[in-house]
Structure 1
Amino acid sequence: MTNNSLLYLPSFLKNPSKNGVGRYVCQLQRVVLKFCKNHGGSRGMREFIEEDLLDFAKENPGVVVYLKPRRHRGPVIKAEYLSGNTQWLGCSMFTKDEIYKWLNLFKTQQGDKEGIRLRKLWHTETPSIQGPWTPYTFRSPKLNLVEYPNEKLSAAYEEKSATEELLEMFEKQKLHNVKLLKAEQ
């Protein structure tokens, strides 16, 4: 990939469908169920057609469902979308429930063949072998064995009052001034 290809916007960024803004429009336009009346691999498809197809059609009135019987061929689902894209799925030996799940998946997709392409200026074949960073990454493993509340740990994080902090700052400043006077003499 050359640098020139990184400078243009891909088509999915130029013309977003904005589906769901205002109202949702199902992108699945047409489904063609191809099956054989005798083929053993089409049994699940035939059961789906006999038992669940009418329910699917009633639930999705915007999707046109075609049945195409073919001789001596395996079953296929062809999904056609509003964008003009099509998806094919060979569903030999699928059960009627699996076919129903696949049809619902096709109904919720937009029909993109590749999905969304994300372009980056960098790429790595080997991501970090150390894993993701967490707040506990560089903590001492000894903290895993401590029972809380612990006097040692609570003493380290004991809060000082503002007066005590000012007195400490004053003492440090006094010591610093004494060192400067001795250095001048």
Structure 2
Amino acid sequence: MSNSQLFLKPGFINVPLQNGVGRYVIQLQRVVLKFCKNNGSSRGMREFIEYDLMNFAKENPGIVVYLKPRRHRTAVMKAEYLNGDQQWLSCRNFTREEIMKWLNLFKTQQKNHTGTRIRKLFHTDHPSIQGPWTPFTFRNPALNLAVFPNEKLSEPENLDKSSVDELVELFKKQKLEELENARATN
């Protein structure tokens, strides 16, 4: 464990099970847009509300959008998720395009894990320092830059033998050895 994780509260990842199996459920439940009617740093938020908010609300009927005007304060966006997590974002001097970009990001992400040290359901006294195994661990790095279909990579000497071919070869070797042993004993 690194020193940066010592002061974080431990917790488990809490996401809905099988999200996306029947249908995808957007995790963003509620958005609160706080802005000032007069402050210059809230201009982008006011423009977003005037021109783009109705379209966003029509495209995302499952997300509740609240507007909260406040005097002499900078614009803030608060996102609340189905699992109870909240995210705050200061929108000081943001343009309406930036606000739309951040709303789409909040809509597509699950939750903010930056304040939680993720706990595992297992423990080992000797953790691996090499990282987890993936199917790409021992692959040829030349495949990263190859453009497929590739004539050079599809040549027979570059293709691995199938397990059936290897078993047939082992069977033939075994039969040859048995024949040689039988000849040697006769």
Give the TM-score range, shorter chain: 0.5 to 0.7
Deviation at 1:113, TM superposition (A): 3.0
Match of 1:92 in 2: 92
Match of 2:44 in 1: 44
Tell me how large the CA RMSD over aligned residues is.
3.0
How many pairs are equivalent? Answer: 121
Structure 1 pair 53–135 and aligned structure 2 pair: CA distance change class (3 A): closer
Unmatched 5+ stretches in structure 2:
3-10, 131-138, 143-186
Unmatched 5+ stretches in structure 1:
3-9, 125-132, 137-185
Partner AA of 1:83 in structure 2: N
Identity %: 63
Structure with the larger RCO, 1 or 2 (CA within 8 Å, 6+ apart): 2
Structure 1 pair 29–116 and aligned structure 2 pair: CA distance change class (3 A): farther
Structure 1 pair 122–56 and aligned structure 2 pair: CA distance change class (3 A): same
Deviation at 1:11, TM superposition (A): 2.3
Structure 1 pair 117–32 and aligned structure 2 pair: CA distance change class (3 A): same
Taking structure 1 as the reference length, the TM-score comes to 0.57
Match of 1:12 in 2: 13
SS in 1 for 2:32: strand
2:54 is the counterpart of 1:54: yes
Larger radius of gyration: 1
Contact persistence 2:29–2:62 (CA under 8 A): yes
Deviations 1:103-161 (A, max 9, x none): 0110011123328959792459xxxxxxxx9557xxxxxxxxxxxxxxxxxxxxxxxxx
Structure 1 Cα separation of the partners of residues 62 and 80 of structure 2? 12
Structure 2 Cα separation of the partners of residues 28 and 135 of structure 1? 39
1:11-160 alignment to 2 at 5 Å?
11-12=12-13, 17-114=17-114, 117=118, 121-123=127-129, 135=141
